[in-house]
């Protein structure tokens, strides 16, 4: 029997493929020897694959073919990602917006749509919400304000994730895990199911894996991060990854304008008029100097 499914986890030469069968979702433990020999492809978490079931009873199979990839992320290493959802707290801890901007640049460089979710809406003022919205509405596909504790706006996250494969990232202490848990009580079960199969208990959470939420909906919970290096980026290209700067660049007097010291710069004009955020611009300058 041949089935199509999605690789949700790879560990020590085994791949766990989630397939929609007549009786519902089922996880198969697969090897991929033929793929290495034939196509010289290393299967990745997120790959859609055809598998040959070798034991229905034990849930075993072989990966026959990796279907064409839409994209491939380097960090975390995963294929076919539709979007990244970056989660920050609005307070407690104070959001490190420099870190947020680095993350946005990194995703923009990899061509991944990014949405931002600001959590802990219940402990900040309306003004603070407005400030963050003004700074970020032009540089993410969506900006959501939620409170996982008070259950405010959580349905908007569900809507955003539905039918897509999303990477969830954010520093520690922002409530990311409570959002993951809200997303799917099944998530914990899913992790348990895989752990049971490979007998490693809690260790499995260290490896990147996709969590099945519902049909065609997967999330990848990435470990908390505290710093992000942006590799292989030239300082003069940095502005290209600030979506709100891009339409302003043609109005700069100089080609190759860094938008920092040059006179008659479209970006700086927009900054003075308050059309782009001071925070974003300040972080741009910091990152430019670092590069």
Residues found near Zn ion in the complex (CB under 5 A): 252, 257, 259, 265, 267
CB of 291 to Zn ion, least distance (A): 17
The distance of closest approach from Cβ of residue 241 to Zn ion in the complex, given in angstroms and rounded to an integer, is 15
Contact 49, 7 (CB under 8 A): yes
In the complex with Zn ion, the residue whose CB is nearer, 96 or 258, is: 258
- Residue with Cβ nearer Zn ion (45 or 257): 257
Q: Quote the least distance from Cβ 44 to Zn ion, whole Å.
A: 39
Distance CA 237, CA 14 (A): 40
Is residue 1 classed exposed, middle or buried when 0-12, 13-18 and 19+ CB atoms within 10 A define those classes?
exposed
For the CB of residue 106, give the shortest distance to Zn ion in the complex, in Å.
23
Least distance to Zn ion, CB of residue 105, Å: 17
The nearest distance, CB 109 to Zn ion, in angstroms, is 20
Of 183 and 267, which CB lies nearer to Zn ion in the complex structure?
267
Contacts of 30 (CB under 8 A, 6+ apart): 14, 15, 16, 17, 49, 51, 60, 61, 62, 63
- CB closer to Zn ion, 131 vs 240: 240
Q: Which is nearer to Zn ion, 81 or 257 (CB)?
A: 257
Task: Specify the residue, 180 or 252, whose C-beta has the smaller distance to Zn ion.
Answer: 252
User: Residue 279 CB, nearest distance to Zn ion (Å)?
Assistant: 18
178: left (phi over 0), alpha (psi -120 to 50) or beta: alpha
Other Cβ atoms closer than 10 A to 250: 8
Displacement of CA 153 from its chain's centroid (Å): 19
Burial of 12 (0-12, 13-18, 19+ CB in 10 A): exposed
Residue number with CB closer to Zn ion (24 or 250): 250
């Amino acid at each position: 029997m041949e089935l199509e499914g999605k690789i949700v986890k790879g560990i020590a030469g085994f791949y766990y493929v989630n397939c929609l069968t007549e009786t519902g979702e089922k996880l198969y433990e697969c090897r991929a020897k033929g793929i290495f020999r034939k196509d010289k492809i290393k299967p990745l978490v997120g790959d859609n694959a055809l598998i040959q079931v070798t034991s229905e009873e034990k849930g075993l199979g072989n990966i026959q073919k990796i279907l064409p990839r839409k994209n491939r992320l380097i960090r975390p290493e995963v294929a076919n990602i539709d979007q990244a959802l970056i989660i920050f707290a609005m307070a407690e801890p104070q959001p490190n917006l420099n870190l947020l901007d680095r993350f946005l640049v990194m995703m923009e460089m990899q061509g991944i749509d990014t949405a931002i979710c600001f959590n802990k809406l219940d402990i900040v003022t309306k003004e603070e919400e407005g400030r963050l919205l003004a700074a970020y509405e032009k540089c993410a596909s969506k900006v959501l304000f939620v409170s996982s504790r008070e259950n405010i706006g959580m349905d908007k996250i569900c809507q955003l994730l539905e039918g897509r494969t999303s990477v969830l990232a954010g520093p520690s202490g922002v409530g990311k895990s409570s959002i993951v848990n809200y997303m799917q009580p099944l998530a914990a079960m899913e992790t348990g199911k895989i752990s049971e199969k490979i007998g490693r208990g809690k260790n499995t959470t260290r490896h990147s894996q996709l969590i099945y939420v519902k049909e065609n909906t997967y999330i990848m919970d990435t470990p908390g991060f505290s710093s992000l290096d942006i590799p292989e980026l030239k300082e003069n290209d940095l502005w290209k990854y600030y979506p709100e700067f891009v339409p302003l660049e043609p109005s700069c007097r100089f080609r190759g304008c860094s938008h920092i010291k040059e006179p008659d710069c479209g970006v700086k004009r927009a900054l003075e008029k308050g059309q782009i955020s001071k925070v974003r611009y300040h972080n741009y300058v910091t990152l430019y100097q670092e590069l």
